[in-house]
Structure 1
Amino acid sequence: MTNRTTPFHRPLLGAITLFGAVCLASLPAQARDLPEIQDDVFQVANSGAYPPFSYVDTSGNLVGFDVDIAEALAERMGVEADIQTSPWNGIVAALAGGRFDACICSMSVTEEREKAVDFTDSYYRSGLSIWVQEGTDDVNSIDDFAGKNVGSTLGETGNQWATENGEGKWRNQTFQGLPDMLNALTTGRIDVMVADDVPVYVALNDEDIGIKQVDVGELPSWPAAIAIQKNTPELKEALNTALAEIKEDGTYQAIVDKWIGEGVEIE
């Protein structure tokens, strides 16, 4: 994906959660392929705490980019979608265990996740970004994180990156979602924030938050795709076909314009 500056990313699991997901994924009787879904309801999950991709608005409705993508895909597939929220740090385990048929939740494709679930074609790319308070001038490289409080969202790839790179160098603090982490950064509870870039760009468009992005060199990026249970080939094919259709007929770009910004390309 391309956007105002760099591509953007989404979430990974800790070793314990991932181990549980892999174990649950070994239960093929729980997997529902397309025929079973067509006879029932398409159960879709997202975190509900990742604006503008999924969040609960002031009227209590679950809305966002991924919500609209899920509804558009369900319409093309001729199925009814039941879109629900699930805590991010357990969402792979919930999917692999049969609670949901798919996670349309801006999930990055990683080798660890592929051990537990399958993925469709990607629908954008995602990458990590580094943020500090405006006026901060002592963070210009990863080395400058030393001794500081570094925030990331629990279960996200940013959390994995911060954990793997920060051991013994800086203090990691985890949060349940971007809003809480932004608040921690602006109030000084953390010094550095590791986050997906596009959601932060959108937040900055909505209000003057008083933070700035820091270029610390190349950071990881991943394709974001729809996660599904293993052994569901018909569902995977139907979702890939539906994705291609909404990209071809302009539906996809209209959703991007609505939630990310007009003229922004995220593939």
Structure 2
Amino acid sequence: MTNHKTPFHRPLIGAMTLLGAISLASLPAQARDLPEIQDDVFQVANSGAYPPFSYVDTAGNLIGFDVDIAEALAEKMGVEVNIQTSPWNGIVAALSGGRFDACICSMSVTEERERAVDFTDSYYGSGLSVWVQEGTDDVSSIDDFEGKRVGSTLGETGNQWATENADGKWRNQTFQGLPDMMNALTTGRIDVMIADDIPVYVALNEQDIAIKQVDVGELPSWPAAIAIQKNTPQLKEALNSALAEIKEDGTYQAIVDRWIGEGVEFN
């Protein structure tokens, strides 16, 4: 990472939610494919609470990497776009229920999600990482989590991993967002933090936070893609074509440079 400044240091809303838990309680609505969207507005969702990917700035504007990606794709597709926020732990149900046409929200592609929605081609990838306070020297493997308080963000794949692997060995604590969780780690309310790597790297690039990454061996990683309703083949094709275009013409890299860091290879 370079020291390219992003707006991560501004006051943030308190619920960072990437890779949310899926509620499949609602039945899928009739999906809107591309022709219906072209006659109306492309309705896009993200959490609005996951800097620098999507968040609300001090002026009340929804901004971030995913917001710029959504706007660039809509421009290539020739459609008007309306980008809205939605709580992460219900965002898949809202999509499959027809509230949105797509979630451009850094959603990781998992088997569970693929049962509820379709995905476009990936537009970047990230993986889980483990973090402890600076000066901590008793965590070097997953075995060292035993007896510790392990933090993760509610609804994220990190939370899923921590829950599935705890088996009574450690105590899981959940948080609504990365800022709250990092604060809990630095103040000693948790001993270990599990989070997606890129947002933490960006946070550390912008703020002086006394935490360090620990290599505990191989952890899961996933491609991030755009989630859409099932049975929308024309929309999927249009989004994939638009993604290819913005990568080819430099638009994608300009968005990466703005929000992630100049020169970072992110795709």
**TM-score of the pair, normalised by structure 1:** 0.92
Question: Which whole-Å deviations, capped at 9, do the CAs of 1:142-201 have from their partners, x for residues lacking one?
Answer: 011111111111111111000000120111111111111111111111111100101000
Q: Please name the residue that 1:213 is paired with.
A: 213
Listed as ranges, the gaps of 5+ residues in structure 2 are 3-17
State the alpha-carbon separation in 2 of the partners of residues 167 and 84 from structure 1: 38
Listed as ranges, the gaps of 5+ residues in structure 1 are 5-9
Q: Larger helix proportion, structure 1 or 2?
A: 1
Q: Please name the residue that 1:161 is paired with.
A: 161
**How far 1:24 moved relative to its partner?**
2.1
Alignment-mate amino acid for residue 208 of structure 1? D
1:13 maps to which of 3, 21, 39? 21
- Please state whether the residue corresponding to 2:236 is helix, strand or coil: helix
Alpha-carbon RMSD across the aligned residues, in angstroms, is 1.3
- Please state whether the residue corresponding to 2:27 is helix, strand or coil: helix
Q: Please name the residue that 1:202 is paired with.
A: 202
Q: Please name the residue that 2:263 is paired with.
A: 263
Q: Please name the residue that 2:107 is paired with.
A: 107
Is contact 1:49–1:178 with CA below 8 Å preserved after alignment? Answer: no
Q: 1:49-60 counterparts in 2 under 5 A?
A: 49-60=49-60
- Please state whether the residue corresponding to 2:55 is helix, strand or coil: strand
State the alpha-carbon separation in 2 of the partners of residues 235 and 65 from structure 1: 21
Instruction: Spell out structure 1 runs of 4+ moving beyond 3 A.
Output: none
State the alpha-carbon separation in 2 of the partners of residues 96 and 240 from structure 1: 20
Q: Please name the residue that 1:7 is paired with.
A: none
State the alpha-carbon separation in 2 of the partners of residues 167 and 73 from structure 1: 43
Is contact 1:12–1:159 with CA below 8 Å preserved after alignment? Answer: no
Is contact 1:12–1:160 with CA below 8 Å preserved after alignment? Answer: no
State the alpha-carbon separation in 2 of the partners of residues 189 and 48 from structure 1: 26
Alignment-mate amino acid for residue 21 of structure 2? L
Alignment-mate amino acid for residue 266 of structure 1? F
Q: Please name the residue that 1:152 is paired with.
A: 152
Alignment-mate amino acid for residue 11 of structure 1? L
- Please state whether the residue corresponding to 1:24 is helix, strand or coil: coil
State the alpha-carbon separation in 2 of the partners of residues 34 and 251 from structure 1: 23
Farther-moved stretch of structure 1 (207-216 vs 179-188): 179-188
Q: Percent identity?
A: 85
Farther-moved stretch of structure 1 (175-184 vs 192-201): 175-184
Alignment-mate amino acid for residue 173 of structure 2? Q
- Please state whether the residue corresponding to 2:213 is helix, strand or coil: strand
Corresponding pairs, count = 252
State the alpha-carbon separation in 1 of the partners of residues 154 and 223 from structure 2: 20
State the alpha-carbon separation in 2 of the partners of residues 104 and 12 from structure 1: 13
State the alpha-carbon separation in 2 of the partners of residues 64 and 40 from structure 1: 24
State the alpha-carbon separation in 1 of the partners of residues 122 and 72 from structure 2: 16
State the alpha-carbon separation in 2 of the partners of residues 85 and 183 from structure 1: 24
**How far 1:43 moved relative to its partner?**
0.7
Q: Please name the residue that 2:136 is paired with.
A: 136
State the alpha-carbon separation in 2 of the partners of residues 24 and 247 from structure 1: 35
**How far 1:12 moved relative to its partner?**
4.5
